[in-house]
Amino acid sequence: MRLNSLHLRLTAALLAAAALGAWLCAALLSPAVSAWWAALPSRGTGTALLVGAAALGLLLAMVVANVLLNPLRRLLRALEMAVLSFRDGDFNTSIAPARVAELADLAQLHRALGQALRDQRQHLAQRELLLDTVVQNTPVALVLTDMRDRVAYANIAARQLLGSGRSLEGTDFRALLSGTSEALQQAVAAGEDTIFGVTIDGQDETFHVSQRGFRLQGLPHRLHLFRRMTRELSRQEVATWKRVIRVISHELNNSLAPISSLAHSGAELARRGDVARLPDVFESIGQRARHLHGFLDGYADFAKLPAPRAAAVEWSPFLATLRAHAPFRLDGDTPSEPGWFDTVQIEQALINLLKNAHEAGGPAGAVAMAITQSTAEQHIVVVDEGSGMSEAVLAQALLPFYSTKRNGTGLGLALVREIVEAHGGRIALANREGRGLRVSLTLPRPRAALRATVVSA
């Protein structure tokens, strides 16, 4: 135990008090004190002396206790002030070293805590500075609005896009948008991810807007991100055209080379008078020409896909027509309420999916379709028990011109995706547990579809 510890001091004071009490008892019980007590003229005088001695002892005890506890009170008062400073974000308050061992250790721990908090705040400040520097200098225009649609934060790109370089904090976001192009206003008003085009300094620019709502410090906020896509889209367009040229060139060579060879063979047979074999030559040339014609028609259909004209569609006749092109099993009941989509386009999309399902290698009777509807959406699922797809193929199966088939054009699933997204829906591909592929189409049911349902009822 250390000599300057509070525990040792209190123990010494208690021992001293006990020794003093023992001495007083011994003195009071001695013959001399008894004779003195008997010689007093009255009992009241003796009682007064005893009370005075007790009061003096109590006062002495209070003084000693105050001396011993005074360092503890000073430290507790300093700790209280330091905690209040920490609450206000001031971590520079420190406590002077105490002479009592336990209190000195506590003061040292408090100083270490303050230093740790100061270091942590410095690290946070550096990270915030780094984050702010990155956000401010990113080419993506970032605007954060509060629950009143006031701009709470905007980076440099946002100030250049929406405010000609001036500060936007505190301004009304809707009023700010009123001075921009109609396309930008419509894209923000849509409230979802979309692409729009604007003219900036005489140049046509394409932007992608992404909007998300979240709570910041318990209050609703909304984040708007405007990403310039012109260069990226240009690069993708060039890459797509290169891929198209490669695919078309490959397919043309695969058809024209045999046609050229067969034409030469036919001419040689005609020169030698061997006309019996000419019909076979002409039939082969016709087959290659028809294949090439179908290949080009597929590209033309993909490029000329019109905007969908959605309307109420009764499921029973629609499914009967679909079965005439590709057989399937319907899992579940036929929805009683009509669907809402472009009949011709969705029929073409489902024919492509059903044909792919039959070509997947599973049993023909395992190709099935399920249809469910909710208030806002309609879901169509096509499944098979074929070989499924690898992860690499799943990641690229919906891209145009990507095909794993030897004679495939890579437009079947791409056309399905184009049709579904033109309807405002989405498509998802996933391998089934065990064996086979699952293709899910989700199409929206707008209010017009609900009104049509009520009218038909």
pLDDT in tens, 93-125: 766 665 655 567 767 777 787 788 888 888 888
**What's the whole-number mean pLDDT along residues 396-416?**
68
Q: Are residues 316 and 450 in the same domain?
A: yes
Within a domain: 23: yes
Least confident piece of the model among 13-27, 137-151, 221-235, 414-428 = 13-27
CATH at residue 378: 3.30.565.10
Q: What is the pLDDT of residues 261-300, one digit of tens each?
A: 888 888 887 888 777 878 887 888 887 787 777 767 766 6
**Do both 325 and 439 map to the same domain?**
yes
Choose between 394 and 268: higher pLDDT. 268
- Is 178 or 19 the better-scoring residue by pLDDT? 178
Overall average pLDDT of the 50-75 stretch: 66
Single out the residue of 225, 210, 233 nearest to residue 158, CA to CA: 225
For residues 305 and 415, is the Cβ–Cβ distance under 8 A? yes
pLDDT at 454 (0 to 100): 40
The pLDDT value recorded for residue 379 is 93
Q: Is the pLDDT of residue 46 over 60?
A: no
| Whether residue 144 is found in the same domain as residue 201 | yes
What does the alpha-carbon distance between residue 233 and residue 222 come to, in Å, rounded to a whole number? 27
235 in helix, strand or coil? helix
CATH of the domain at 194: 3.30.450.20
Domain-terminating residue out of 303, 321, 336: 303
Task: Quote the pLDDT of residue 195.
Answer: 79
Q: For the residues 363-368, what does the mean pLDDT come to? A: 85
Does 83 or 265 have the greater pLDDT score? 265
Looking at per-residue pLDDT, the higher value among 58 and 370 belongs to 370
> Whole-structure pTM over 0.75, yes or no?
no
Residue 344 near residue 415 (C-beta atoms within 8 A): no
Whether residue 82 is predicted with pLDDT greater than 80 in this model: the reply is no
The C-alpha atoms of residue 31 and residue 379 are separated, in whole angstroms, by 111
**pLDDT at position 456:** 42
Which of 282, 303, 324 corresponds to the end of one domain?
A: 303
Same domain, 217 and 183: yes
Q: Are residues 224 and 245 in the same domain?
A: no
Task: Tell me the mean pLDDT in the region 176-192.
Answer: 84
Q: Which distant-in-sequence residues (6+ apart) come within 8 Å of 340 by Cβ?
A: 310, 311, 312, 313, 378, 443, 444, 445, 446, 448, 449, 452
**Position 150 pLDDT exceeds 90:** yes
Q: What is the pLDDT of residue 221?
A: 92
Identify whether residues 441 and 315 lie together within a single domain: yes
Q: How many whole angstroms separate alpha carbon 100 and alpha carbon 88?
A: 29
Query: Is there a domain that residue 125 lies in?
Result: no
How many whole angstroms separate alpha carbon 413 and alpha carbon 182? Answer: 34
Note whether 276 and 320 are same-domain residues. no
At residue 297, the pLDDT reads 72
What band does 146 get if pLDDT is binned at 50, 70 and 90? Answer: very high
The mean pLDDT of the chain is 77
Whether 295 and 411 map to the same domain: the answer is: no
Give the pLDDT of residue 328: 92
Q: Establish if 124 belongs to a structural domain.
A: no
Which domain covers residue 369, as residue numbers? 311-456
Residue 406: per-residue pLDDT: 58
Reading the block at residue 271, the tokens are 């020169």
How is the chain split among helix, strand and coil, in percent rounded to 5?
60, 15, 25
Query: For residue 66, is pLDDT > 70?
Result: no
Q: Which pLDDT value is given to residue 457? A: 39
Please, what sign has the CA dihedral across residues 246, 357, 378, 396?
A: negative
Cβ-based neighbours of 130, under 8 Å, separated by 6 or more:
none
Check the CA dihedral 48-49-53-54 and report its sign. negative
Stretch among 216-230, 241-255, 363-377 having the lowest mean pLDDT: 241-255
Whole-angstrom Cα distance, residue 175 to residue 220? 20
Please state the domain count of the chain. Answer: 4
Alpha helices (runs of H) in 88-155, residue ranges in sequence order: 101-137
Q: Which of 6-15, 93-102, 106-115, 144-153 has the highest mean pLDDT?
A: 144-153
- pLDDT confidence bin for 20, thresholds 50/70/90: low
- Asked if residue 129 is part of any domain, the answer here is no
What percent of the chain clears pLDDT 70, i.e. is strictly above it? 71
Q: What is the pLDDT of residues 313-365, one digit of tens each?
A: 999 999 998 888 888 999 998 988 999 999 988 998 898 899 888 888 778 78
Choose the most confident range, by mean pLDDT, from 166-170, 255-259, 298-302, 389-393. Answer: 166-170
Q: Both 326 and 442 in a single domain?
A: yes
Specify if 109 maps to a domain: yes
Domain boundary residue among 255, 273, 303?
A: 303
Domain annotation covers residue 323: yes
- Phi first, then psi, for residue 267 (nearest 5°) are -65, -40
pLDDT of residue 362: 79
